[in-house]
Amino acid sequence: MDSFSLIALAALVLSLLTLILLIQLFRNLIRKQIDDQMKDMIPIKVIRERIGIRIKLGK
For residue 56, the model assigns a pLDDT of 57
Cα angle: 35, vertex 23, 48; to 5 degrees:
15
- CA gap 44, 35 in Å, rounded: 11
For residue 49, the model assigns a pLDDT of 72
pTM: 0.64
Alpha carbon 12 to its chain's center: 20
For residue 8, the model assigns a pLDDT of 94
Q: Where are the domains of the chain?
A: 23-59
Q: What is the pLDDT of residues 15-53, one digit of tens each?
A: 999 999 999 999 899 888 888 887 878 777 777 677 766
